[in-house]
Amino acid sequence: MIFLCMSKEAIATCPHCGHPLAYRDSRRRVWRIHGGDKSYILIRRLKCSHCKRHHTELPDILSPYKHYAAEVIEDVVDGIVDADDPETEDYPCEATMKRWHEWIGRNVLHIDGSLKSVGYRMLDFSERFLKSGASLLSELRNTGAGWLGTINRIIYNSGGFVPV
């Protein structure tokens, strides 16, 4: 089964230079859910009219460089799902779950710093908040499901990235 992914934004803008993005083409992207079921999402690739960079438009349900749904990754990282669950007996495998834990653990400071930076630059957060020890990642994780999609949207749409 293939799903088509479309943005709600009328005009997408380049996170690097702010100029409009134009449609380039589409490609299939794997989307795995709990239990290993696999579907495909047709996602758009866009090109900046000014700096000529290419950008892939990902929905909130996917994370860059990951095939599993963001919800599955969240559940594993939050400890809701582990290798002993019968539902996830084979998919995702225990090694993949371990890599996700390590990926988030390695990037906690990077994610917090990126979120604070975006908040300061684009949302007028105070400089005091920027320098505070408050963890936006922890706050987002405490709000429940959807925190990974929110983080991806904020960081990647502002031109940043989370190292793999």
pLDDT at 105: 94
C-alpha to C-alpha distance for 129 and 59, rounded to whole angstroms:
29
Same domain (yes/no): 53, 74: no
Same domain (yes/no): 139, 77: yes
Tally of domains in the chain: 2
Same domain (yes/no): 52, 104: no
pLDDT at 100: 95
Query: Residue 25: inside a domain, yes or no?
Result: yes
User: What distance, in Å, lies between the first and last C-alpha atoms of the chain?
Assistant: 28
Three-state secondary structure call for residue 39: strand
Same domain (yes/no): 83, 131: yes
What are the tens digits of pLDDT across the range 99-158?
Answer: 999 999 999 999 999 999 888 888 888 888 888 888 889 989 998 888 999 999 888 878
Same domain (yes/no): 54, 74: no
